[in-house]
A and B are shown apart, each in its own frame.
Chain A
Amino acid sequence: MPATFTSHPVEIERKDPGIGGKPPVDRRPTGGGGDGDNWENRPSGRRGPRELLSRYRLGVIFALAGDLMFFVAIVSAFFVRQSAGHFDARENYVSDWHPLAVPPILWLNTAVLLLSTVTVEIARRQLFREIDVMEEWLGLGRPAVKRASPWLIATAVLGVIFLVGQWIAWKQLVLAGFHFDSPDPSSHFFYLITGTHGLHLVLGVLALGGALIGLFTLRRIELRQIVVDCTAWYWHTMGIFWVFLFALLVVFQ
């Protein structure tokens, strides 16, 4: 195959947007999977219509792997602190850990967050429907944007409801006498875990807002796909993190 080894100078001459000259569609509704091109044999920027998307996805996944370690550290601190105690003068084992009953509203919040995971997934899939992507790519209309934006708004609203619910849970705990600086370590962890996770969700809501703006302002369909897709994966991960953190707070007190 001598043709394989000849270089094509014209390839670097073209300012290629990374779309490989094809619409970023896929037969599957999830938008997953490769593009079927021989990835290894093409230079960066010419690796098919999904190249940019897969690069950004990979970046988000790596970032979330680091974030996972952040929560792993806090959860391991939770268990270490829980088992820390001391022996008093009469050699009785004394622990200052008092299990905290989580406010019942947290169950509702969890349901809201899980619901928002569904809505964000619906929004994400709207960006990958082949017929709509083709229409947007050809510049005939913006059907995917029209379909996705209500679901994104719904997700953001559910996210805000979740955050308000968490705030109410904090208020209820404060009324019950559990402040952050009350001497009980389990309440420290409750505020710390819900607080750091809440901060992540605030960023998530901002990202949803950004994705919504991006949907209407970004000119290229593949960029519109990227903003929604990456936000959705972030949002899913925060949902999964919350399920585990919530289980920790409920079961492992």
Chain B
Amino acid sequence: MSSIFTTGHRAIGILYLRLSLAAVVVGTLLSLVMRIHRLWPEVPLPFYGLLKPEDYLALVTMHGTLMVFFVLTTAPQSGFASLIMPAQIGAREMAFPRLNALAFWLAAAAFLILMAAFFVPQGAPISGWTSYPPLSAIPSAGPGQGAGMDLWLISIAVFCLSSWLSAVNMLSTILTERCPGMTWSRLPMTVWAWLVTSILTLLVFSVLLAAILLLFSDRHFGSSFFVPLGDLVNGRIVGRGDGSPLLWLHLFWFFGHPEVYIAVLPGMGLATSLFANFSRRNVPGYRLMAGMLVAIGLLGLLVWGHHMFVSGMNPYAGTAFAVTTMAIAVPSTVEVLGWLFLLSRGGLRLHTPMLFALGFLSFFIAGGLTGPILAQPALDSYLHNTFFVVAHFHLVMAMAGVFSLFAGIYYWFPLVTGRMMSETLGKIHFWISLIAAYGTFLPMHLSGLAGEPRHYERLTGPATSFSSILANERGITSSALLLAAAQLIFLWNMIYSARRGRKAEPNPWQATTLEWAPEGKTIRVQRGPYEYEVTAGNAKFFPQWESASKQE
């Protein structure tokens, strides 16, 4: 029971990560069902029967919602931040510990409400994680758009409140709870990232909440914010006024694009820390790297329109959004070049967390490179809603995000359990995951270039035939199965190492940031977060918790 009513930041962080683990397991299974169904659409599913096209769309919706909200937002932003951030700034607790617990339980409730959508009549919603109206605004527009869609809206509304409370807490903690001497230029890069993502969360989740309120009102109270005039559903006119579906797109993507950065910025902060640690070097251009994290966050608020190039938005607005979108490549490139410069000086210690951080970098580059392509309105009008887009965001958001999560778990595992995870299993897990992830998502670019649309449940049919890319799809599906299977190694490693793993030393990675400080030490920070040195083959490091007088 004590774990239920706990307000300790570490316990809450672990609870968040467990919630994410549950979500990622369900989300992965859904994606595997989708992959298998695309190859063998006529094979009935055990315990279910034949998968109908609308069932496939329900799988897409739930997969996206689970992964974006309950994995890529919850784990890096709320989970790791609750677990690590107070310790990293030398605070004993969050600013408002009970608020943190409340935020977690709201997130858990949101997860359960979302899962309930599978079990209501007509099942889960089918309008995708973006829930575009009018499909999402009209309960009769399709199966799952009644009770299932309502549950989706309630779930995400509760999740918005949870994120909002969590962000208030993070910001207050970072601003008021830093230990003496922990100045802005001594913050670890992860804390900078959590600071930026908390600001983004605060600003954009409220907008999503407002949009959900408007959509709910359209569905149940007869308003017409989003339903266009003369909207025809099943031979019945349901449009009541000049509602604008574009309005939803604007509100949603004002949230949705910063959401991408909420998912990936903590990974960038963590990667910076790990690169410094495992190459035993100071971060070059600390102020620049931190400043670019902030710049990415701020620019991220101004680019939402690039999701809407072909939506009927004013083409001049499209041009403006194309410019801001390409501008965001500048700070991203600065970050990448900073990392490459740090790594290029050699002497890397390739432990599992470092491998996953390098994997993060690899996906960030590989997925990021297609970003400026999709940012061109002319190119996007061809590529929009094809698998090219799916490939892009699965590499840059999903895989980069998940690999940074793995890096964080391998890195902080000894801090939480006092034991090391198995390096051998970790390396096997890394290499299979890396190859299988590229095997899954790189060929999707080709499917997309061949014109294969998203959301089609089968490739061959009376109207369209993509039989020529079936071979490609087979490769993707087998690779996806391998990717999922590799995670069993990770799960086994985690469960086994927590009980039987090698005992960890007090500071196993010889890190400098404060979460590794010995218990009960009065901390007065007098140095930067990444003071590593290699002099004449002799590696030295100066942790933040040690006073400057001991330097020599």
Contacts and interface: CB of A to CB of B under 8 A. Distances in A.
B481 interface: no
Given A12-B520, A70-B210, A84-B244, 20 more contacts: A40-B181, A41-B181, A43-B179, A44-B177, A55-B176, A58-B95, A58-B176, A62-B167, A62-B202, A63-B165, A67-B206, A71-B210, A81-B244, A86-B229, A96-B224, A181-B221, A183-B240, A185-B241, A192-B213, A192-B217
Given A185-B224, A185-B225, A58 B217 contact: no
A69 B203 contact: yes
Contacts of B243: 81, 84, 185
A77 B214 contact: yes
B164 A5 contact: no
A209 to B, nearest CB: 20
A59 B95 contact: yes
B522 interface: yes
Interface string A160-182: 00000000000000000000110
B179 A44 contact: yes
A36 interface: no
B250 A80 contact: yes
Contact of B176 (A54, A86, A95): A54
Interface string A53-93: 01100110011011111111110110011001110000000
B223 A180 contact: yes
Contacts of A188: 217, 223-225
Interface string B136-152: 00000000000000000
B522 A66 contact: no
Most buried by A among B168, B209, B523: B168
B244 A5 contact: no
A54 B325 CA distance: 38
A143 to B, nearest CB: 30
B113 interface: no
A154 B202 CA distance: 33
Nearest to A74: B210
B370 to A, nearest CB: 30
Interface in A1-56: 5, 7-9, 11-12, 40-44, 51, 54-55
Interface of A is mostly: helix
A86 B246 CA distance: 14
B202 A73 contact: no
B169 A73 contact: no
B242 A96 contact: yes
A73 B176 contact: no
B180 A96 contact: no
Contacts of B523: 43
Given A77-B210, A77-B225, A66 B242 contact: no
B333 to A, nearest CB: 30
Interface string B85-101: 00000011001100100
Interface in A180-227: 180-181, 183-185, 188, 192, 196
Contacts of B344: none
Interface string A240-251: 000000000000
A11 B523 CA distance: 11
A76 B214 CA distance: 12
B223 A69 contact: no
6 contacts: A41-B180, A44-B177, A55-B95, A63-B164, A96-B224, A180-B222
Contacts of A11: 522
Interface in B166-200: 167-169, 171-172, 175-181, 183
B547 interface: yes
A70 B207 contact: yes
B484 interface: no
Given A43-B179, A59-B96, A70 B241 contact: no
A180 B221 contact: yes
B251 interface: yes
B164 A66 contact: yes
A62 B242 contact: no
B202 A66 contact: yes
Given A62-B172, A77-B214, A81-B247, A12 B522 contact: yes
B179 A63 contact: no
Contacts of A74: 210, 213-214
Most buried by B among A8, A66, A84, A95: A66
